[in-house]
Amino acid sequence: MTPPTPPTNACDTTMTTDAPAALSPTIFERTRPGARGVRIPQDNHAISQDWLNSIPAQMRRTDAPQLPEVAQLDIVRHYLNLSQLNHAIDKAFYPLGSCTMKYNPKVCDLASAHPNLAPLHPRTPDALAQGSLQIIHELQQFLRDITGFDAVTLQPAAGAQGEFVGMMMIKAYLQDKGELPHRNQILVPDAAHGTNPATAAMCGFEVVEIPSGLDGCVDMAALKANLSDKTAGIMLTNPNTLGLFETDILEISRLVHEAGGLLYYDGANLNAIMGHARPADMGFDVMHINTHKTFATPHGGGGPGCGPVCVTETLKPYLPSPNVEKTDSGYRLADVGEKSIGRVKAFNGNMDMVVRAWMYLLAYGAVGTKQISTDAVLNANYLRTQLRDTYEIAFTGVCKHEFVMNSHNQHAADSRINTLTLAKRLMDYGIHPMTMYFPLIAPEAMMIEPTETENKDTLDNFIAAMKAIDAECRNNPDIVVTAPHTMPIKKVDEVGAARKPELNFYCCR
């Protein structure tokens, strides 16, 4: 295959490659006094002086706000141009491992914006919100089928909040059994996502790091050495963040349970095993699901997403309250009971995410859901085997939905080259960089997750781009070291950006 040629200017914007974005006009700099995007009829909506006077004087502003004054067409062009500077999954390949950016079918957006659903007021009485409650109930049932657990809450707004909810339930359970504060250690493998130890610590547990073995999986000897009557549980991602399935999972679950602890499943990688294996069958007691990774919802970035939590019968009494219940006369929001850890999110969580995930699962059905995981794993292994002669694979062997390679071979060709330089050069080929430097246990990590939604042409294009960059490292390393060349912003001062961030237009000028 002919290696793709990087475009001379990948960005179809008003900015040239010579004009750093910092010099391009902001919306404030586009201000033309008197220009207006819309004109509001003044007379019909005159605000009475009496009403204005009713606002306490100290709370009334004395100067007009410094809002940009821009004509409508200029606003439209400004934001359209800005939006085109962003890389998006709808624009091109986005092989971020762990964070998973995959195509979300537009039908899911349509469903969540449906006029019979979207305008529903969250305080609508149950009797008038039967459709929404049914959707929540059905999605919970789908998730129970997929994971093997007994009960589900859809309240958490992100995977990270799901972790917090799950760990709070483990804590409440141990408290009930009279095992706290003694049983206060949570084991977390060193390959874990940073949210795992952070969550355990936020819930008041002591975090005990378990090293990975040479095969990238949990080091069983280290696990055994750290189990004790202080073990409250383990937080495990399976497949782990290297994309490797923990083959000792049944033994791990037996050992942790025998020690008196519970197993928390970080479900970020559920998209690798759906329809093939169920976390509850592996012995887990509680898990969260990142709907943005496995089902079609935008990534909440810890915020307005959805991180359902699934539990066994043992932890069911501790679920957040209320939860949807099906009765003979329909659906209702029922109090979970006195053991509940309480409400963790307003109303029923982010309903627009719930509808998207429900729509996605309805569209795929049981057979399609299994195929999603099969294809995600096939695509990852295709990339891995096509690239393994060019890039060093961090932990060899068949992977699940993602894999980790590194830049050691390219660094050997030119010592100025590392994972960051390769990622910057990839942008010149119109491809979003892969996840870099995670997991921490793989030096110079490049974590790649193609997802099931990409076709072979896209994967082949990525392979050709990575091979072309490798050739550049040997034949023309300067072009790699000085990349990106086609982006509106060239190499940024990353340390300066982190240490001295300029977040406000006015404060910087």
Ligand X SMILES: Cc1ncc(COP(=O)(O)O)c(C=O)c1O
Q: Write out the residues near ligand X by the rule CB under 6 A.
A: 98-99, 158-160, 193, 195, 237, 241, 266, 268, 290, 300, 302, 305, 307
First-last CA distance in the chain: 50
Nearer to ligand X, 100 or 140 (CB): 100
CB of 300 to ligand X, least distance (A): 6
CB of 95 to ligand X, least distance (A): 14
Nearer to ligand X, 241 or 410 (CB): 241
CA neighbours within 13 Å on the CB side: how many for 175? 13
* Residue of this chain nearest to ligand X (CB atom): 159
CB of 269 to ligand X, least distance (A): 7
CB of 256 to ligand X, least distance (A): 19
DSSP string for residues in 460-484: HHHHHHHHHHHHHHHH-HHHHHT--
Nearer to ligand X, 304 or 477 (CB): 304
CB of 291 to ligand X, least distance (A): 8
Nearer to ligand X, 305 or 484 (CB): 305
Nearer to ligand X, 158 or 387 (CB): 158
The DSSP symbol for 126 reads G
Per the listing, tokens 């294009």 go with: 461
Q: Residues 365-373: contacts with CB within 8 Å, 24+ apart?
A: 366/145, 366/275, 367/275, 369/146, 369/274, 369/275, 370/274, 370/275, 370/276, 371/275, 371/452, 372/271, 372/274, 372/275, 372/452, 373/271, 373/272, 373/273, 373/274, 373/275, 373/276, 373/401, 373/452
CB of 301 to ligand X, least distance (A): 6
Alpha-carbon span 468 to 480, nearest angstrom = 11
CB of 161 to ligand X, least distance (A): 7
CB of 65 to ligand X, least distance (A): 34
> Is 264 in contact with 286 (CB distance < 8 Å)?
yes
**Which residues are bridge partners to 186 per DSSP?**
207, 233
Structure tokens belonging to residue 293: 């990774």
Alpha-carbon span 385 to 249, nearest angstrom = 26
CB of 235 to ligand X, least distance (A): 9
| Three-state DSSP class for residue 448 | strand
How far is CA 386 from its chain centroid?
27
> Is 382 in contact with 459 (CB distance < 8 Å)?
yes
CB of 169 to ligand X, least distance (A): 17
Structure tokens belonging to residue 398: 């068949």
CB of 303 to ligand X, least distance (A): 8
Nearer to ligand X, 211 or 304 (CB): 304
In sequence order, which residues have a C-beta less than 8 Å from that of residue 235 and are 6 or more positions away? 163, 167, 186, 187, 188, 192, 196, 197, 199, 200, 264, 266
| Three-state DSSP class for residue 232 | strand
Alpha-carbon span 138 to 129, nearest angstrom = 14
Nearer to ligand X, 160 or 463 (CB): 160
What is the enclosing helix (H) or strand (E) of 172?
A: helix 159-176
Nearer to ligand X, 163 or 472 (CB): 163
Alpha-carbon span 423 to 93, nearest angstrom = 13
**Which residues are bridge partners to 334 per DSSP?**
323
Amino acid at 345: K
Calculate helix-pair angle for 351-387, 456-475, nearest 10 degrees. Answer: 50
Nearer to ligand X, 108 or 270 (CB): 270
Q: Secondary structure of the chain: what % helix, strand, coil (to 5)?
A: 40, 10, 50
CB of 195 to ligand X, least distance (A): 5
Nearer to ligand X, 151 or 158 (CB): 158
Nearer to ligand X, 117 or 198 (CB): 198
Nearer to ligand X, 212 or 237 (CB): 237
Nearer to ligand X, 78 or 356 (CB): 356
- φ, ψ at 6 (rounded to 5°): -65, 135
CB of 194 to ligand X, least distance (A): 8
